[in-house]
């Protein structure tokens, strides 16, 4: 159960709208659920604000469905990343309301207790169309966390005027996530244009000397734009969670201009 739901429940107890016994029944349960092939962390949302996310790669469709069923039973829905077509099909058949993003390889079942939509925008920027799978994983994760997303697509440094034309949108964002392969230069450019946090995600897109994302990773780590944060290769999910934590801290202290 998410922290906001627990807080609402405790508020109901305080006002007398809910009895202590009923609240205990809703909160009762072990912090983990043993499935034999997985140990589901059912209290992660209470600790961190977001439920456990299922990493689909390497798991069978039956295993992913089983974990998803346990998470969905708590009412907070679920998010699966790196879901291969067979996993996508199995989840879509089991959960008719699930949203499949084939490009981003994600499957999202929304919570039956929707969280409030955040007020701070995250811009997800891609250098090229080939970077979209990673960017979509990022955007869907942010959506699941309740953060609005603005996608800015195919604005790499080979045509620098394209990103310069989007400066107003970049300035409106509270966090900018830049997804790029090849030479990985776009995060440095964006980092020199905005005053917001910039999170760079190298992708495994590029010719041989890109070394499956190692070249853009090293470029981003050596960015001359101060303060650019770098995630692992193809880790759109990690970038989204990092942005979410920044926004949670921003909301906690009342926002900042």
Tell me if 8 is assigned to some domain. Answer: no
Instruction: Write out pLDDT tens, residues 90-104.
Output: 999 999 999 999 999
Q: Does the model's pTM come out above 0.75?
A: yes
CA–CA dist 66, 91 (Å, integer): 10
- Whether residues 150 and 215 share a domain: the answer is yes
- Whether residues 94 and 126 share a domain: the answer is no
- Whether residues 126 and 105 share a domain: the answer is no
- Whether residues 94 and 144 share a domain: the answer is no
CB 137 within 8 A of CB 145: no
Exposed, middle or buried by CB within 10 Å (0-12, 13-18, 19+), for 166?
middle
Instruction: Write out pLDDT tens, residues 111-133.
Output: 877 666 778 999 999 999 999 99
- Whether residues 73 and 173 share a domain: the answer is no
Q: Produce one character per residue of 42-60: b if its CB has 16 or more CB atoms within 10 Å, e if not.
A: bbbbbebbbbbbbebeebe
Look at the chain and report how many structural domains it folds into: 2
253, pLDDT greater than 80: no
What is the mean predicted confidence (pLDDT) over 225-251? 94
- Please give the structure tokens belonging to residue 229: 């944060």
CB 46 within 8 A of CB 2: yes
Domain with 46, as residue range(s), is 28-109
């Amino acid at each position: 159960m998410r922290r906001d739901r627990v807080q609402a429940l405790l508020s109901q107890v305080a006002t007398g709208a809910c009895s202590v016994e009923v609240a205990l029944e809703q909160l009762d349960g072990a912090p983990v659920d043993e499935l034999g092939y997985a140990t589901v962390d059912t209290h992660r949302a209470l600790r961190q604000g977001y439920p456990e996310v299922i990493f689909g790669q390497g798991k069978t469709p039956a295993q992913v469905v089983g974990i998803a069923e346990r998470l969905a039973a708590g009412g907070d829905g679920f998010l699966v990343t790196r879901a291969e077509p067979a996993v996508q099909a199995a989840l879509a058949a089991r959960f008719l309301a699930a949203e499949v993003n084939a490009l981003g390889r994600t499957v999202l079942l929304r919570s039956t207790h929707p969280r409030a939509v955040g007020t701070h925008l995250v811009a997800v920027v891609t250098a090229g169309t080939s970077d979209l799978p990673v960017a979509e994983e990022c955007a869907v994760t942010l959506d699941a966390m309740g953060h609005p997303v603005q996608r800015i697509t195919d604005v790499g440094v080979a045509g620098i005027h394209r990103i310069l034309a989007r400066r107003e949108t970049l300035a409106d964002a509270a966090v900018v996530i830049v997804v790029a392969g090849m030479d990985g230069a776009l995060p440095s450019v964006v980092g020199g244009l905005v005053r917001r946090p910039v999170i760079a995600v190298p992708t495994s897109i590029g010719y041989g000397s890109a070394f499956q994302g190692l070249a853009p990773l090293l470029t981003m780590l050596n960015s001359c734009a101060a303060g650019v944060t770098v995630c692992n290769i193809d880790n759109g999910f990690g970038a989204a969670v990092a942005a979410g934590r920044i926004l949670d801290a921003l909301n906690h202290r009342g926002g900042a201009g």
